[in-house]
Amino acid sequence: MKKLLFFWKELLATFWFLPVSILVASVALAMGTVYIDNTMSISQEGWFRFFIVNSADSARTILSTISGAMIGVAGTVFSVTLVALTLASSQFGPRLIKKFMYVRLNQIVLGSYISTYLYCLIVLIAIKGSEDYTFIPSVSILVAIFAAIVNIILLIVFIHQIAISIQADKVVADISNFISNQAENLFPERIGEEKESEGEVDFTSEASQYTKRTSFRSPKGGYLQYIDGASLMHVVAEAKVLFDLQFRPGAFLVKGMEIGWIYSNQELEDELVEKIADQFVIGEIKTSQQDLEFSIHQMVEIAARALSPGVNDPFTAIACIDNLSATLSYLVKSKFPSKFRHDAEGNLRIVADTLDFKGVLDAAFNQIRQFAGASPSVIIRLMEALITIRTFAKEQNHHDALVRHAEMIFRLGKETITEKNDLEDLRKRAEKILGTDQLG
């Protein structure tokens, strides 16, 4: 079921699904309104008569005008979207194109204009005007006029959205919000205490209970996009085996490469291996549903491009650091899942390659630090970000990871910062994490 949910979310994220859905709805609406016109008599008395079309030629002219205008504006909308994608790709990186393509408003606007065009064509076919029989779908024409008014409003909103969507601060804020939401979903805040720590699980002892070890190989090549954990646990628990998985979502797999081991007390059947393989989704590109590092790398790419010599925009890089520090401040007090997964009876069934705080911290700050050598302000802000994160750190391994990064940043500062006062500013901040003795 969760695997189907993954594909449903990926479908919703495509650029074509929502416009096509609106298109199908417009066909149903056109048939419905024409049916209403054919079965109901519209009163032409009172103020409503001013909105009723009595001439077949006038009805055709109205619908032709609306349909022509809509398909023309749809082309303009598509062109503006491509321009925005080009600017976003050159300024923020090609991996952010997906984000701009899948903005709901862009999909709705494109779908609305194309569907209005198709709606008018269908209603236009229904108009009959001859000496023997005349049929003018007045309600359908009113709906077309109303749709045209809505589309004009959508055009104004769309232009406004495009204008602000390519601003660096807006892009950084949107990605930051997405990362924060993803972090809260993947790593909820700590609730209570764990029954046992990872150190209390003796994997060697657990594995020795099985007589056979079978290599599990990747069924296809590509990026590991998703693992249906609940179904995988059900399969291995039912078979009473132990599955040691060496990769996590986001890893690139080559077809036939060894990605894990299956421990069992009897020869494995091909059907069981296929069931386990079916719990993995492997595709051509990375997705963010179970890969927090992928989302973080999008923010890091913006900062890296901002620090390149051709751009030299430390303000955007600092904005990325600030937003990343907010996410890391949340994660440092969150409970990361254990790599040891037990079934309902308490038996160890899965050993997973899980993400930890040190890995997230490396993904967020390593490349930014490597590109920040020519920018003292960015180096100082990196140290300030570590100070902020440290105020939320409670566990020793989190503190050690922060100290490690603070040492690397301070070494970078000593090697690249030539101004004495800037270096002294960095030293004062580094003392809050490293202490005076470690700085020398």
pLDDT of 180 reads 83
Domain hosting residue 303, numbered range:
292-335+356-439
Residue 333 has pLDDT above 70, yes or no: yes
Percent of the chain with pLDDT over 90: 43
Answer yes or no: is 366 within a domain: yes
Say yes or no to pLDDT of 436 above 80.
no
Say if 342 falls within a structural domain: no
- The whole-angstrom separation of Cα 252 and Cα 248 is 9
Q: Give the mean model confidence (pLDDT) for residues 11-36.
A: 90
H-type alpha helices, 307-356: 314-331
Helix locations, 187-221, DSSP H: 203-207
416/425 Cα distance (integer angstroms): 14
386 belongs to a structural domain: yes
Per the domain annotation, does 214 fall within a domain?
no
* Number of domain units in the chain: 2
Say which residue, 47 or 159, is predicted with more confidence: 159
159 in the same domain as 22: yes
Residue 34 resides in a domain: yes
CB 153 within 8 A of CB 76: no
Select from 116, 137, 166 the last residue of a domain. 166
pLDDT tens, position by position, 141-193: 999 999 999 999 999 998 888 888 777 788 888 888 888 887 777 765 443 33
Q: Classify residue 341: in a domain, yes or no.
A: no
Report which residue type is found at 340: F
- pLDDT higher than 60, residue 413: yes
| Residue 340 near residue 245, CB atoms below 8 Å | no
Tell me the torsion sign for CA atoms 59, 62, 65, 66.
negative
Q: What mean pLDDT, rounded, does the chain reach?
A: 85
Residues 76-99 have a mean pLDDT of: 75
**Residue 308: which residues within 8 A CB-CB, separation 6 or more?**
371
Can you tell me which residue has the tokens 């995988």? Answer: 232
Q: What percentage of the chain has pLDDT greater than the value 70?
A: 90
Could you read off the pLDDT of 291-332 as tens digits, one per residue? 888 889 989 999 998 998 888 889 999 999 999 999 999 888
Q: What are 229-286's pLDDT values in tens digits?
A: 888 998 999 999 999 999 988 899 999 999 999 999 988 888 999 999 999 999 888 8
pLDDT at 229: 84
Higher pLDDT, 74 or 13: 74
Q: Please say which residue of 149, 166, 183 terminates a domain.
A: 166
Please give the residue that has the higher pLDDT: either 77 or 372. Answer: 372
From 166, 198, 227, the end of a domain falls on 166
Q: Is residue 41 part of a domain?
A: yes
Cβ neighbours of residue 221 under 8 Å, at least 6 residues apart? 253, 254, 255, 282
Within-domain flag for 253: no
Rg (CA), the chain: 30
